[in-house]
Structure 1
Amino acid sequence: MKIIKLILILVIVGLSGCKSPEARRPVTQSSGSFINESIERNRELVAREEAQILEIIERDTLNDYVASNSGFWYYYNTKTTDSTNTETPEFGDVVRFDYDIKELDGDVIYAQGELPTKRYAMDKEDLFNGLREGLKLMKEGEEVTFIFPSHKAFGYYGDKNKIGTNVPIITHVKLHSIINESNNNPNN
């Protein structure tokens, strides 16, 4: 009798041990609402910044602003009238320029001369998105004032110095020179 009970217990334990494993369910489930809320916050931020920028443009009757395809606005302080000077920087060209940075209300963040003259290899070095795109529109000797919404400027992180989170900026840029990549390459 004891042997039958022992065999019966072993069979029950053996059968219950052969059960296939069940998948564990997460304690909490995410519905993606955080991402959707973040997208909505960013849309509101962009709309608010663009409204501020368009208000500035509307009040400024002295300058003719151009809306770029890249999502920023600009006007020429000095535009080249030389018909032979049609060259704009392309990938790999080295440009030399000066610039300053202001907030939309005109408060100076970096004054002209506070930032050193910059040498920049187009699209090969780090530069904030808006200025990188803006330089591509300029010719040697031109001065342009750009208005960048924060996502085209320093965005969420700022410059980790004087520019904070999500700050739209006004930048005055003077392009001194463009050195073609082909002239800059010692292998040619």
Structure 2
Amino acid sequence: MRYLLLLFVMACLFSGCKSPEARPPVNIKSGSFIKESVERNKKLNKKERERIEKVIANFTDKTFMTSENGFWYHYNTKVDKTSKTPQFGDRVEYSYDVSNLNGQIIYSKEDIGNQVYYMDKEELFSGLREGLKLMKPTEEITFIFPSQKAYGYYGDDNKIGTNVPLICNVTLKTITQNND
């Protein structure tokens, strides 16, 4: 019995003195995924840009401007320069429709109804959020958003799929200033 106890204590001492060794990684991360993703997105953006430019060329009666935020727009109804555009926290009421680059309506103004949005205080896809900042009350603008400015990779989980560029006709009805 003594020998067994002595053998057990010695085994514990020898195994306890050994320092743990670091396990080598199973997978080695290289950054190739990031590089591949960047290249894939560059190709997607180039392809979308070419499609959008073709669509704009078909609007022979309209002159589209390029936004510094990465989308194109045309004023259907423009208001004089004395009116103000919405600022942070302002309440805006607007309506809009959504169609694909082929002009097929995805959501009509009737489907969506009038919308209320507090500028930069609520969730809204980035293209529309930035587009509303350009508008004055009673203006109507046609926006063409590349997919990364619309619903991007995820879509809207309903009618808008993955990486779909959109055309939106937006009418800004009112702006109520934030008094905070």
Question: If the length of structure 1 is used for normalisation, what is the TM-score?
Answer: 0.85
Instruction: State the match for 1:23 in structure 2.
Output: 22
Looking at structure 2, the residues matched to 114 and 180 of structure 1 have their Cα atoms a distance apart, in angstroms, of 27
Q: Please give the per-residue CA displacement for 1:122-141, whole angstroms capped at 9, x wherever unaligned.
A: 01111110000000000111
Q: Please give the per-residue CA displacement for 1:13-62, whole angstroms capped at 9, x wherever unaligned.
A: 96786343321101221212122211211111111101111111123221
Select 2:178's aligned residue among 165, 181, 188. Answer: 181
Structure 1 residues not aligned, in runs of 5+: 1-5
**Percent of matched pairs sharing the same residue:** 54
Q: Please give the per-residue CA displacement for 1:67-114, whole angstroms capped at 9, x wherever unaligned.
A: 000000000000013x532x0001100000000000001111011211
Is 1:59 the counterpart of 2:64 in the alignment?
A: no
Looking at structure 1, the residues matched to 103 and 14 of structure 2 have their Cα atoms a distance apart, in angstroms, of 79
Instruction: State the match for 2:82 in structure 1.
Output: 84
| Larger CA deviation: 40-49 vs 145-154 | 40-49
Select 2:138's aligned residue among 120, 137, 141. Answer: 141
Looking at structure 2, the residues matched to 106 and 80 of structure 1 have their Cα atoms a distance apart, in angstroms, of 26
Q: Secondary structure at the match of 1:131?
A: helix
Amino acid at match of 2:102: D
Looking at structure 2, the residues matched to 84 and 44 of structure 1 have their Cα atoms a distance apart, in angstroms, of 42
| Larger CA deviation: 72-81 vs 25-34 | 25-34
Give RMSD over aligned pairs: 2.0
The 4+ residue runs of structure 1 with deviation greater than 4 A are: 13-17
Amino acid at match of 2:174: S
Structure 2 residues not aligned, in runs of 5+: 1-5
Q: Call closer, same or farther: CA 1:130–1:20 in 2, change over 3 Å.
A: same
Looking at structure 2, the residues matched to 177 and 19 of structure 1 have their Cα atoms a distance apart, in angstroms, of 74
